[in-house]
Chain A
Amino acid sequence: MSGMNRQGRPTAIGNTAHSGSRNSTFTGNRALELEEPLLFEIDNPGACGVDLDEPEGFTSHLGALERKGRIGLPSLSEPEVVRHYVRLSSKNYSIDAGLYPLGSCTMKHNPRLNEKMARLPGFSDVHPLQPQQTVQGAIELMSELAHWLRELTGMPGVALSPKAGAHGELCGMMAIRAALIARGEDAQRTRVLVPESAHGTNPATAALLGYKVDAIPATDEGRVDLEAFKSKLGPDVAAIMLTNPNTCGLFERDIVSIAKAVHEAGAYFYCDGANFNAIVGRVRPGDLGIDAMHINLHKTFSTPHGGGGPGAGPVVFSEALAPFAPLPYVVSDKKGFRLVETNEEAKADGTTPFGRMTAFHGQMGMFVRALAYMMSHGADGLRQVAEDAVLNANYVLASLKDDMSASFEGPCMHEALFDDRFLKGTGVETLDFAKAMIDEGYHPMTMYFPLVVHGALLIEPTETESKQSIDLFIATLKDLARAAKSNDKERFTGAPFMAPRRRLDETAAARKPVLRWTPSAPAEAAE
């Protein structure tokens, strides 16, 4: 492994033979693109990034449980720590830097006002178990957010506490199960219907509750096959879990009939609200006959994705399910706002919560951001959000349908789905096409999802992209499609060439997992 620097990167100029890669340098850096070792490799024993005085004059109460020996944490001063993370940050793509067309993920602009509001000490520096008379404004904020969610969805019940979309799904399905238990039909209803195009979290959630998952096929038009669906209904069906607009980016035209059939069969209708951005302010899920739906505050209401969380997944409920909503919930009366936190209080209150999803009250930091976003837009602005999101997606669909293969006829909703037919015979696959976009300065779209079309490419531009930005994106994809069809295969199969890393070996990572740094790790041995 000679000629490698500390980061395991070749240092000799001209050492890299792969086409498209640039000359290497002694440091491994490339001007503004800076390599950064692991924290543990820049340990600076004796340095410390905090100044704390050694405490004196107290009696130890640790008994025999005092920690002995070295933990192994590296020691660094503040400037070293700041530089480490600034350098790491430079290796990330972000919505602030460019269009991030991940279908089903709704990567829209994150207003900084929301960050500022979430950091007001009255919200950020209050403890969840402070006496309630000292947090009236915080509970009021939860109440106000619940009100906005009720109005926007037309559904009377709200559970704010779920921590993420999948956690909200779990909450919604638990409420359904609780309602079935109350009806004495829990033992009988063991099956949950889930369309083939569903997010993986839907079947995983149903399975967590012990349900058998039964897949509903899609029509050639990318929607639930109504006849096939009806034939699967029966007295053993607990619920259907449907995404609407669905993961093909299409509105389920038969949704009202589906809801009616579900209810006639004595089952409940769970809606995955991941794609609420397409209809917010224009369509209320309550008007469609839905019984429970989670809302990803980090999608529709723009709380930052943060590199993979934290999200928030409040759930709205129909009249039938509202009494089963979990603890805690907010009530208000003349004395002010009150959080109902225990079964004892709920009993006095006349409700029958199914239980508790999490300690404390949910993702307050996200509630503040989402409410700031809602207030900023208002009823008129939110409707415009849905319209512009749908307009942008249809514009992409219309502009690219002759260059790439659109899976379904438009109009689409907030995202446009393509498949890999346009790449047939080129030797370029969906993955290669997506990786070539990286060299062009774009984050790829969602790939290979939904599963109902071959080699899916799912594009969600969102409403916060300008026409100019979308035009350049479209032109780029046209150029890539043309290149793929004109045998410029190398631009794709080796891509990305210009990112901080070339393609990474995921198979090797899974075969022999290295999940932490250890002093004897191969990386260190390469020095």
Chain B
Amino acid sequence: MRYLPLTDADRREMLGVIGAKSVDELFRDVPESARREGLVDLPRRKGELEVERLLGRMAAKNVAAGSVPFFVGAGAYRHHVPASVDHLIQRSEFLTSYTPYQPEITQGTLQYLFEFQTQVAMITGMEVANASMYDGSTGCGEAVLMAHRVTKRRKAVLTGTLHPQYAEVVKNLSEFGGYELEIMPPALPGEAFDVTDRICDKTSCIVVQTPDFFGELHDLRAIAEAAHAKGALLIAVVPEIVSLGAVTPPGEMGADIVVGEGQSIGNGLNFGGPYVGLFATREKFVRQMPGRLCGQTVDAEGNRGFVLTLSTREQHIRREKATSNICTNSGLCSLAFTIHMSLLGEEGYKRLARVNHAAASKLAGLLSKVPGVEILNRTFFNEFTMRLPKPAAEVVDALVEKGVLGGVPASRLWPGRPEVENLLIVASTEINTDDDRAAYEAALKEVL
């Protein structure tokens, strides 16, 4: 087997040193009833070529986003990733290294984490950020638990325009953790978004997504003020992180914790994972933060260096008293994020955001003229919601037949709610050309 270097001669010699007759002897502590003599019922080993054939066949059954006019978003976005990003993250020294527990020989990982934390804090407008979470949705769940710790309260309020699957993750953690949770019904773009009356002196936090699930932008200032007046925290959720190149960041609007999905920068769609959760907060809350943190220090010769720090919050030290059970971050995805962000820089990041906004604005302009289509948003970044004259799921399926991936029907995530059945959430990014948009317009006209 090509990955196993021991030869039969090696094995015999090693067994001799150990003083065992056979490898079976080494497994003698396994209870007899559980010892398997034969092989499990699975295929035998395969060469590279054969594995490539089998997996290639499966891959070929999927419609790759890059092969069609593509307008799907709702929490994951297709962007162009510069070629150097994937090259750099595949360097052995990054790809095949472990968590930097030995800082003397992992300064590469530690320094990029420190730079990543700085970039995340900057773009969210916050003071500090951690070394990343699994993804935006789990980061959102952890943010709510953190707010409970900070405020010593037990009730969270989720606004109805939070990504429904993010809300389910929070609900799951809250139910099992014994916390109270209020999930507000979806508020469509254009409908009143008055959430401040839900906050009381038992509320630990209110969670608001912007751009929200329907693409609408929210000014968080009044919500932050209302939350703070009652001693509660404002958690802002940003699933499309490119938006912050053009939109006022939550940190400048009074957010106490900002959770983001970083997939858009440096990371592909990957059918939903791995992604990278961004997590930023105020300095005064840092000891209540979940996840890994990288900090600056000096070595024995006074040279600047970096280490994982404040690990007394973490499970390997605190065990059942830890702030979270998290034992990892999304290392390589955070590396991809930080490299792409470095390539963009101040100007590139802002321009990319403008290009995205322009792409969606142009698409909205075209589609709004299709008979029967109503665009609900007053504001948006690169994603908006259309009301169609018939169920959106049917329209999306019909668009597939025309070779267009036209968006996400709200009913896929909110089944059984008649008020969202005809809503289609549509995203357009820098990948879309004028031809793509024209193809969408033409196909939509045909299927409606």
- Is A163 close to B, CB under 8 A? yes
Of the candidate stretches B190-198, B200-208, B223-231, B243-251, the one touching chain A is B243-251
Closest residue of chain A to B105 (Cβ to Cβ) is: A93
Chain B 27-58, CB within 8 Å of chain A: the 1/0 string?
Answer: 11111011110011111111110111011111
Of the stretches A136-144, A314-322, A419-427, the one at the interface is: A136-144
User: Counting CB contacts under 8 A, is B439 at the interface?
Assistant: no
Task: Give the complex CA separation of A500 and B185 in angstroms.
Answer: 55
Q: When each residue 2-26 of chain B gets 1 if its CB lies under 8 Å from chain A and 0 otherwise, what string results?
A: 1111110011011101111001011
Known: A81-B84, A375-B54, A379-B40. A251 touches B30 (CB 8 A): yes
Q: Is the interface of A mostly helix, strand, loop or mixed?
A: loop
Query: Please, which residue of chain B has its CB at the minimum distance from the CB of A446?
Result: B101
B17-A395 in contact (CB<8A): yes
Q: When the two chains form the complex, which single residue of B104, B248, B292, B405 contacts A68, counting CB atoms closer than 8 Å?
A: B248
Q: Which of A122-169 contact B (CB under 8 A)?
A: 122-131, 133-138, 140-141, 144, 148, 151-152, 163-167, 169
A357-B169, A505-B298 given; name 4 further pairs at CB < 8 Å. A122-B62, A125-B268, A306-B333, A355-B171
Determine whether B134 belongs to the interface, using a CB cutoff of 8 Å to chain A. yes
Asked if B433 is at the interface of the complex by the 8 Å CB criterion, the answer is: no
Is A395 a contact partner of B301 (Cβ separation < 8 A)? no
A237 nearest CB across to chain B (Å): 16
A243 and B389 CA atoms in complex are apart in Å by 56
The one of B163, B296, B331 that contacts A309, using a Cβ cutoff of 8 Å = B331
Chain B nearest Cβ from A330, distance in angstroms: 12
Are A113's CB and B52's CB within 8 A? yes
**A256 and B351 within 8 A (CB):** no
Are the C-beta atoms of B51 and A376 separated by less than 8 Å?
Answer: yes
- On whether the beta carbons of B271 and A364 are closer than 8 Å, the reply is yes
A210 sits at the interface (CB 8 A): yes
Given A75-B347, A515-B286, A516-B128, A52 and B352 contact (CB-CB distance below 8 Å): yes
A224-232, A366-374, A479-487 - interface stretch: A366-374
Least CB separation from B10: chain A residue:
A467
Q: B111 and A390: CB pair below 8 A?
A: no
Collect the chain A residues with CB atoms within 8 Å of residue B50's CB: 375
Residues of chain B within 8 A (CB-CB) of A327 are 168
In the complex the two chains form, is A509's CB within 8 Å of B342's CB?
Answer: no
Q: Which of A60, A122, A127, A496 contacts B60 (CB 8 A)?
A: A122
The residue from A72, A310, A312 contacting B332, defined by CB atoms under 8 A apart: A310
Contacting residue for B349 out of A38, A73, A174, CB 8 A: A73
Query: In the complex the two chains form, is A18's CB within 8 Å of B29's CB?
Result: no
The CA of A261 and the CA of B137, in the complex, are separated in Å by 38
Q: Type the 1/0 row for A485-522, where 1 means its CB is closer than 8 Å to any CB of B.
A: 00000000010100111111110111001111100010
Partner of B112, one of A85, A208, A213: A85
Decide: A148 and B42 in contact? CB cutoff 8 A. yes
Q: In the complex where A73-B123, A86-B91 touch, is A38 in contact with B4 (Cβ < 8 A)? A: no
Residues of A within 8 A of B61 (CB): 122, 136-137, 140
* Nearest-CB residue, chain B, relative to A96: B92
Residues of A with C-beta under 8 A to B315:
166, 200-201, 203-204
Q: Are B44 and A513 in contact (CB under 8 A)?
A: no
Contacts of B299 in A (CB 8 A): 501-505
Contact A377-B45, Cβ < 8 Å, known A115-B90, A504-B307: yes
The answer to whether the Cβ of B365 comes within 8 Å of any Cβ in the partner chain is: yes
Chain B residues within an 8 Å CB radius of A503:
104, 299-300
Residue from B102, B115, B272, B412 in contact with A364 in the complex, judged by beta carbons closer than 8 Å = B272
For residue A443, CB closer than 8 A to chain B, the reply is yes
Chain B residues with CB below 8 A from A364, complex form: 270-274
Contact B415 A49 (CB under 8 A): no
Q: Are B35 and A201 in contact (CB under 8 A)?
A: no
**A-side contacts of B100, CB under 8 Å:** 307-308
Closest 3 CB pairs of A and B: A122-B59, A360-B272, A137-B61
Q: Which B residues are in CB contact (< 8 Å) with A342? A: 413, 415
Query: Is B278 an interface residue, CB under 8 A from the partner?
Result: no
Q: B271 and A65: CB pair below 8 A?
A: no
Cβ–Cβ < 8 Å partners of B180 in chain A:
none
Identify the closest chain A residue to B75 (Cβ).
A359
> Which of A94, A164, A208, A379 is the one whose CB lies under 8 Å from B97?
A94
When distances are taken between beta carbons in the complex, the residues of chain B under 8 Å from A96 are 92-93, 95-96
Contact A126 B296 (CB under 8 A): no
Which residues of the other chain, A, contact B272 by a CB distance below 8 angstroms?
A: 128, 359-362, 364
A304 CB, min distance to chain B CBs, angstroms: 5
B177 cross-chain contacts in A, Cβ below 8 A: 208-210
In contact, B303 and A39 (Cβ under 8 angstroms): no
- B309 pairs with A209, CB closer than 8 A: no
A345 within 8 A of partner (CB): yes
Q: How many residues of A contact B (CB 8 A)?
A: 213
| Cβ B94 vs Cβ A92 within 8 A | yes
A306 and B115 contact, CB distance less than 8 A: no
User: A523 to nearest B CB, angstroms?
Assistant: 6
Is residue A455 within 8 Å, beta carbon to beta carbon, of the partner chain? no
Q: In the complex, how many angstroms separate the beta carbon of B310 from the nearest chain A beta carbon?
A: 6
A359 touches B163 (CB 8 A): yes
A93 and B102 contact, CB distance less than 8 A: yes
- On whether A371 and B55 interact (CB within 8 A), knowing A360-B165, A438-B104, the answer reads yes
In this complex, what residue of A is CB-closest to B138? A358
With both beta carbons as reference points, the residue of chain B lying nearest to A305 in the complex is identified as: B98
CB distance from B164 to the nearest CB of A (A): 9
A486 vs chain B, min Cβ distance (A): 24
Looking at the complex, which one of A49, A67, A281 makes contact with B40 (CB distance below 8 Å)?
Answer: A281
Contact partners of A60 in chain B: CB under 8 A:
357, 361
Q: Which residues from 355 to 371 on chain B have a C-beta closer than 8 Å to any C-beta of chain A? A: 355, 357-362, 364-365
Is B286 touching A356 in the complex (CB atoms < 8 A)? no
Is B66 an interface residue, CB under 8 A from the partner? Answer: yes
* B318: interface (CB < 8 Å): yes
Residues of B within 8 A of A102 (CB): 98
- Is A341 part of the binding interface, using a Cβ–Cβ cutoff of 8 Å? yes
Closest CB-CB distance, B129 to chain A, in whole Å?
Answer: 7
Q: Are B379 and A62 in contact (CB under 8 A)?
A: yes
Q: How far is the CA of A492 from the CA of B88 in the complex (A)?
A: 35
Q: How far is the CA of A99 from the CA of B173 in the complex (A)?
A: 39
Which of A61, A65, A508 interacts with B298 by CB under 8 Å? A508
Q: How far is the CA of A210 from the CA of B145 in the complex (A)?
A: 13
CB neighbors of B among A391-421 (8 A): 391-392, 394-395, 397-399, 410-411, 413
Contacts of B137 in A (CB 8 A): 358-360
Do A516 and B3 touch (CB < 8 A)? no
Our pick among B13, B41, B88, B107 for the contact of A92 (Cβ within 8 Å) is B107
Establish whether residues B4 and A385, one from each chain, have CB atoms under 8 Å apart when the complex forms.
yes
Interface bits B251-283 vs A (CB < 8 Å: 1, else 0): 000000000000000001111111010000000
- Contact at B271–A127, with CB atoms within 8 Å? yes
- Chain A nearest CB from B386 CB (Å) reads 14
| Contacts A/B (CB < 8 Å), 13 sampled | A59-B361, A74-B346, A81-B84, A133-B397, A163-B273, A308-B292, A355-B171, A360-B137, A375-B54, A413-B26, A467-B5, A467-B6, A504-B300
Shortest A129–chain B CB gap in Å is 5
Chain B nearest Cβ from A223, distance in angstroms = 9
> Given that A39-B342, A371-B55, A376-B48 are known contacts, is A67 also in contact with B64, CB under 8 Å in the complex?
no
Contact yes or no, B64 A125, CB < 8 A = yes
| CB-CB nearest in chain B for A257 | B31
**Chain A contacts for B292, CB-based, 8 A:** 308
Alpha-carbon separation in the docked complex, A63 to B248 (Å): 11
